[in-house]
Amino acid sequence: MFRMKTYLAAPAVAILMSGTAHAALTADQVWQSWKDAGSMVGLTISAATENNSGGILTLNGVSIGAEGMPGLTISDLTLTEQADGSVEIVPGAEIGASMTGEAEGSVKVTHDGLTILAREAEGGLAYDYSAAALDVVYDSSYPGVSFDGSEAPTVTAAGDVKFANLSGTYSDTPGANRTFGWSLVADTLAYNTSSDDPGMEMKTVSTSSTDGIDMSLTFALPSTIALTAIASPADFTTALNEGLSFTLATKQGASSGTMKQESAFMPMDLVMNAGGGEGSVVFNKDTFSIKSTAEGLDISSGPGMMPVPLQVTSGPMQFDLTTPVIATEAAGDYAILLKLSDFSLNEEAWAMFDPNGALPRDAAQIAIDISGKTTMDLGALVAAEESGVPYTPAPESLNITELGVQVAGAALAATGAFTFDNSMGIPMPLGEANVTVTGANALIDGLIATGLISEDDAMGARMMMGMFMVPGANADELTSKIEAKEGMQILVNGQPLPM
């Protein structure tokens, strides 16, 4: 695993590209804005030589880093003033950073035609960038783990990340909420990694390539509070109320990859292919939301940990999660959506535990769709974990739109709706849910035939189904109606619990 514990230049990139815009930018103004912004966060930004001639500022030996620490170096930078008031920035060929201390190594950036255009945008600065190619290559070593008390062996990790035909924009807009924006579009994103851990007796090599990368994010920071001043759940809640927020949107095309791991305990040889997908994250004082979709997945594994080749495939997948962030008088929306379709295994994998085909090979389907309202407060939840004082969200409603599982010829489906009375200090449910199970007895018979469960185990399972379910209208169908009434009374098919 690649670790960097000393410098870091990554935040410096964002610091560089900040400042207040002028009606017509000059190269000196852009360069000075970088140095001023760096000093605000303890970074020294300097050049070995500076030369400004005819609106062209040439910098050689540019260095960005904390005092006394290694940092990012750029062989040269050329800042050229444009007729439209913008400044074109062209970095030199040599860009890199070194690591010292517990982790040692280097990071080098190479590019083909990288150009950056600084311009005024809504009272701040925006930077448009593009390149035919941009590659990041790293090589590192760090102490591993010793299990016998001897000196820990050295772990090595190396790799590269490559973008093809990339472009995007970084922006910094001042105001009551200082808003940072970033976008990236690239034809492909590819990486290659390798690691060698003698202590774990493990060598790993992996590759990946993804088409059609499209990413964008915005981050709003209130001018009333510094990011480094957020040191407690109360500070975090204050920052959220004053405008702290984050959004992320991603989209990608098809991807493929491989991973080979040499290990006495966990050998792997994987080939992975996936369809395109989209995702988003929204976080502010009102809501926290994660949404993602994927077209499908195909993972093949040669014999390794498993004695036979393994292939896992799936159809479209979807995951959504929404929850309130700060509790208010009015409850907020929460929701969980999970859909996995056509999840299947190859026949060689099935045959390991069911060689005679006692179980149907039907692809598995999973669907969970629940929602409701609650007074969840994430700040209070974090504070409770730190203090040890329990905090329990107060749900107001639960809607089970869909709860379904299909596997090996059996299926479960449930729907329902509940409200909750929180006046007694604990949620008191009111409502009902309806459950239907088909193919359960056939599944149990198949599991007995495979030897995965015994007749005694099956008898216990059938007795439990008999207690909580009644026969349905069709063969091998069971149904159950679960009702929650006043006074915490729970009825199953009209019979109170305990039954």
Q: Does residue 15 lie in a domain region?
A: yes
Contact call for residues 110 and 131 (beta carbons, < 8 A): no
Q: Does residue 410 lie in a domain region?
A: no
Q: Does residue 115 lie in a domain region?
A: yes
What's the domain count of the chain? 1
Contact call for residues 1 and 23 (beta carbons, < 8 A): no
Tens digit of pLDDT per residue, the chain (499 long)? 333 333 333 444 444 455 544 457 899 999 998 888 777 667 889 999 999 999 999 999 999 988 777 789 999 999 999 999 999 999 998 899 988 778 889 999 999 999 999 999 888 889 999 999 999 999 999 988 877 778 888 999 999 999 999 999 999 888 888 888 999 999 999 999 999 999 888 999 999 999 999 999 999 988 787 777 787 888 888 888 889 999 999 999 999 999 999 988 889 999 999 999 999 999 999 999 999 999 999 999 987 777 889 999 999 999 999 999 988 878 899 999 999 999 999 999 999 999 999 999 999 999 999 999 998 888 778 777 777 777 778 899 999 999 999 999 999 999 999 999 988 878 899 999 999 999 999 999 999 999 999 999 899 988 988 889 999 999 999 999 999 998 889 999 998 886 5
Conformational region of residue 409, where left means phi above 0, alpha means psi within -120 to 50, and beta covers everything else: left
Q: What letter would DSSP give residue 229? A: G
Residue 381, amino acid: L
Q: Does residue 299 lie in a domain region?
A: no
Contact call for residues 44 and 37 (beta carbons, < 8 A): no
Q: Does residue 159 lie in a domain region?
A: yes
Q: Does residue 128 lie in a domain region?
A: yes
pTM: 0.84
Quote the domain boundaries for residue 86: 1-184
Q: Does residue 357 lie in a domain region?
A: no
User: Could you tell me the maximum CA-CA distance found in the chain, to the nearest angstrom?
Assistant: 91
Contact call for residues 64 and 72 (beta carbons, < 8 A): yes
- CA angle 318–320–325, rounded 5-degree value: 170
- pLDDT value of position 149: 75
User: In this structure, which long-range contacts are made by residues 206-210, counting pairs with CB atoms below 8 Å and at least 24 apart in sequence?
Assistant: 206/257, 206/258, 206/259, 206/260, 207/257, 207/258, 207/259, 208/255, 208/256, 208/257, 209/255, 209/256, 209/257, 210/252, 210/253, 210/254, 210/255
Say how far apart CA 499 and CA 486 lie, in whole Å: 18
Q: Does residue 57 lie in a domain region?
A: yes
Contact call for residues 189 and 215 (beta carbons, < 8 A): no
